[in-house]
A and B are shown apart, each in its own frame.
Chain A
Amino acid sequence: MSDDTIKLDELDRRIVVATQAGLPLVAEPYQQVAEALGVTAEEVMQRLQRMLESGIIRRIGAVPNHYTLGFRGNGMTVWDVPDEKVVEYGEKIGALDFVSHAYHRPRFLPEWRYNLFAMVHGRNRDELKQKIDTIAQMLGEDNRAHEVLFSTRILKKTGLRLVTGS
């Protein structure tokens, strides 16, 4: 995807820095960002619109926290499927309503055999297990192995800071 990279100028980068932690919760949020940067709200809105259209911004909105919203059974599931079918299965798994993200990632043989990752969410561990079974059935014999990795502790969570102020 690196060929989609669009050169950002100094003001674009300052807008990213000003908004990557979130948008102000005030009636005129873009105006507030603009004032902090010493430019007009129109300029900020135009540039955000351009970044949205070019895919630099994926979307503007709320990110729900599954855990605090009652989804207590969350697991990172990892699957070993044939490489030639990973895209087909990735798309199917990514489209399931209880999967928030799915990725094709490299294996590290022999220690790490899994090439497909999916974050699966259930209200509790039992529901999670049922959902994992659903995926296993979907994959059939192409599910050569899978595991669920539960998070036991958050060691750090500062969020992505993609562009620094410097």
Chain B
Amino acid sequence: MDDIDRSIINNLQGGFPICDHPYAVVAERLGIGESDLLERLQQMLEKKQLSRFGPMYHAERLGGGLSLCAMRVPEADFERVAEQVNAFPEVAHNYARDHEFSMWFVLGTETPERVEEACREIEQVTGYRVYNMPKKQEFFVGLKFEV
């Protein structure tokens, strides 16, 4: 990763233009060629330095549901429960964390009501309580990460 890659990351966390040749517009701003920009973005995605590139949609404004859920799963049952939780298509990410609340997953659903429903279904299948922790408020200043 060189200075140009860094400036791409620092400059392209938002504000990507909507026009016929958007990469050309950005490339010019950064003082590089369009094909160079495309190649570098491709590389950074392949190396997972960028987790994605494109429009970031707002789940609730799309009419869907979104929540962070936690479960207290003992070590002995962890793999079974992980498999059962992951089998739900609404589970977008699932992380093991070093805490008594050991499993944390994000539910993204097509309707707001489906979040609660999915939680109940996961409880039934796994036998463990799901702590549904939807955000009450978001304090988000996303466009500032600098490398």
Q: Residues of A at under 8 Å CB distance from B?
A: 1-2, 4-8, 16, 19-23, 25-31, 41, 45, 48-49, 51-52, 54-66, 68-70, 76, 86-87, 90-91, 93-95, 97, 100-106, 108, 111-112, 117, 147, 149-164
The answer to whether A153 touches B95 (Cβ under 8 A) is yes
Q: How far is the CA of A153 from the CA of B98 in the complex (A)?
A: 9
**Selected contact of A60 from candidates B48, B56, B144, CB within 8 Å:** B56
Kindly list chain A residues whose C-beta atoms are within 8 Å of the C-beta of B64: 162-163
CB distance from A125 to the nearest CB of B (A): 12
The residue of chain A having its C-beta at the shortest distance from the C-beta of B133 within the complex is A105
Tally inter-chain residue pairs, CB-CB below 8 A: 247
The answer to whether A60 touches B14 (Cβ under 8 A) is yes
The answer to whether A56 touches B58 (Cβ under 8 A) is yes
Q: Nearest 6 CB-CB pairs, A to B?
A: A94-B139, A23-B54, A59-B14, A90-B139, A155-B94, A156-B94
Q: How far is the CA of A62 from the CA of B54 in the complex (A)?
A: 7
The answer to whether A70 touches B147 (Cβ under 8 A) is yes
Main secondary structure of the interface of A (DSSP, over half): mixed
**Selected contact of B101 from candidates A1, A101, A112, CB within 8 Å:** A112
The answer to whether B50 touches A64 (Cβ under 8 A) is yes
Q: Residues of B at under 8 Å CB distance from A?
A: 1, 8-9, 12-16, 18-24, 34, 38, 41-42, 44-45, 47-64, 66, 68, 70, 72, 82, 85-86, 89, 91-99, 101, 103-106, 108, 110, 112, 131, 133-147
Kindly list chain B residues whose C-beta atoms are within 8 Å of the C-beta of A111: 72, 131
**Selected contact of B104 from candidates A7, A51, A103, A149, CB within 8 Å:** A149
Main secondary structure of the interface of B (DSSP, over half): mixed
The answer to whether A106 touches B134 (Cβ under 8 A) is yes
CB distance from A3 to the nearest CB of B (A): 10
The answer to whether A58 touches B97 (Cβ under 8 A) is no
CB distance from B71 to the nearest CB of A (A): 11
Kindly list chain B residues whose C-beta atoms are within 8 Å of the C-beta of A158: 91-93
Q: How far is the CA of A151 from the CA of B52 in the complex (A)?
A: 21
Q: How far is the CA of A72 from the CA of B116 in the complex (A)?
A: 34
Kindly list chain B residues whose C-beta atoms are within 8 Å of the C-beta of A164: 110
